[in-house]
Amino acid sequence: MNPERLQYLFEKYFDKTASAEERKELSDLLNSDDNKEEMMQLFAASWERYHGDGDIIPAGRSLEILRQILLKDRVTETGETTSIEIPTRRIAWRSIAAAAGVILIVCSAGYLYLNKKQTPTEIVSAPVIQDVKAPVSNRALITLSNGQKVFLDSATNGQLAAQGNVQIVKLDNGVIAYQGEKQTADQPIQYNTLENPRGSKVINITLSDGSKVWLNASSSLTYPISFNAKERKVTITGEAYFEVAHDANKPFTVSKGSTSVQVLGTHFNVNAYNDEAAIKVTLLEGSVKVA
């Protein structure tokens, strides 16, 4: 088989200028069993040149279709040529381009999504600090032994109340202090209660023996106006920090329910809120005895 001659016959056929003899020659070549692969390649190349507008031949059927065409190709008596339609399908190349674009976008998005899943990017966000400002107002009050209430927020500096020989004084720095002569042992003990409600700032009080107490919010402290017994006893709910004045003859005891903390003179903190599961004692200086 001469490839140049075969290509010439293909081009003449597709150009519709082939004579009856040329068509017969082409048919004889296609009906032979020689060089079928090269025939198909030449046929496809000629087809593409003359039908580049979108017509394609189904894969693997090019040679079979061309044989059918040539077998059914006849020359009429008038010299007119009749041939059958080639079973091809027309492809809208613009649609293919659009579809290819969509496929490319989808594939790209899929790749990015899968790549993102495989290598997740750690997003570190700056922590948001929601600071709660400390209370600035003092809403504490003292309930005296006779039931009288002294509100410390509206009290001016100076003497707030007197109970026997003991005076309750508000100092210039805002500290509440018990001053005056100590009660004797034969005098009945009088108790006061300092209450510091929720939302109030810490209140500082100096007891009659010189011990200092800082009472936190939502807390209360019950204490005698004068320590005239053999020991100094106070009761607490909530939280308070103590700096106990040293007195070897009178131990200082802080109690909450059945728990008590006993010291001679030391610095410690007691956390004994009613809604807490346990009472916590934090020692800063000295020693404590917990029972």
pLDDT tens digits, 37-58: 677 777 767 666 666 554 555 5
pLDDT of 246 > 80? The answer is yes
Specify the 3-state DSSP secondary structure of 271.
Answer: strand
CA angle 42, 12, 28 (to 5 degrees): 65
Q: Given a cut of 70, is residue 23 above it in pLDDT? A: yes
* Confidence (pLDDT) at 129: 76
Cα-Cα-Cα-Cα dihedral sign, residues 88, 91, 93, 96: negative
| Band of pLDDT at residue 61, cut at 50, 70 and 90 | low
pTM for the whole thing?
0.55
Residue 229's pLDDT band, with cuts at 50, 70 and 90, is confident
State which amino acid sits at residue 282. T
pLDDT of residue 224: 94
Q: Report residue 83 as tokens.
A: 């041939």
d(CA 256, CA 278): 11
Q: Which domains does the chain have, with CATH numbers?
A: 3-90 (no CATH), 141-290 (2.60.120.1440)
pLDDT tens string 100-158: 555 555 556 666 666 655 555 677 777 777 777 777 778 899 999 999 999 988 788 89
CB neighbourhood size of 218 (10 A): 17
Has residue 225 got a pLDDT over 80?
yes
pLDDT tens column, 163-204: 988 999 999 888 999 998 777 777 888 999 999 999 899 999
> What's residue 4's pLDDT?
77
In angstroms, what CA-CA distances link 9 with 24, 33, 58? 10, 18, 22
Q: What is the mean pLDDT of the chain?
A: 78
pLDDT of residue 65: 66
